[in-house]
Amino acid sequence: MKFRSPTKGTLSLNSMYQDIIAYVSEQPEGQYKLIIGTDSHGSFQEKVVFVTAVIIHRVGKGGRYYFCRQSQNYMGSLRQRIYYETYLSLEVASRLTAKMASNGESNLNIEIHLDVGTRGDTRDIIKEVVGMVIGSGYAACIKPDSYGASKVADKYTK
């Protein structure tokens, strides 16, 4: 899994993790959120592009972000796409959680930003995907608060 950073270029998951820890170490007294969100875009009967964004937010003082793009065969069901977006976010979150646990860095709060909201076609599956996230031990955010998915990841889906 390769991530891209607008400032650092292409990074492995391990290199991204090291960059996040270095960023936090610059101002260890700051308050941080580690945000993970996935969005997708695809035309009718073509491949679907999924982008997972990882954002380290120094609350009130900016942040850094990284993203990973991947393609899958067309998914006709919106429910299937949203479930897969959630799965991709949870996969990255669990890998980062494992790295933090093995390195004694368990003080970062992780939020999963979901590309679902109370308006539109995704309102019927909010409880399901929020339940997946909370059941995995992470905080869940939906639109309009889920900027990790709806703004950062969305920027790189096209």
Give 119-127's long-range contacts (Cβ < 8 A, gap of 24+).
119/143, 121/78, 122/78, 122/82, 125/79, 125/82, 125/83
Residue 124 DSSP code: G
Q: What are the pLDDT digits (tens) for 28-59?
A: 999 999 999 999 998 656 789 999 999 999 99
Q: What are the pLDDT digits (tens) for 21-30?
A: 999 999 999 9
Q: What are the pLDDT digits (tens) for 2-20?
A: 999 999 999 999 999 999 9
CB-hemisphere CA count at 13 Å for 109? 12
- Do residues 34 and 54 lie in contact, with contact meaning Cβ atoms separated by under 8 Å? yes
Q: Which residues pair with 58 in a beta bridge?
A: 32
In this predicted structure, what is the pLDDT of residue 74?
Answer: 82
- Do residues 64 and 55 lie in contact, with contact meaning Cβ atoms separated by under 8 Å? yes
In this predicted structure, what is the pLDDT of residue 45?
Answer: 67
Residue 124 has pLDDT above 90, yes or no: yes
Return the higher-pLDDT residue of 76 and 73.
73
- The stretch 116-137 carries a mean pLDDT of 96
Number of neighbours of residue 52 by Cβ within 10 angstroms:
27
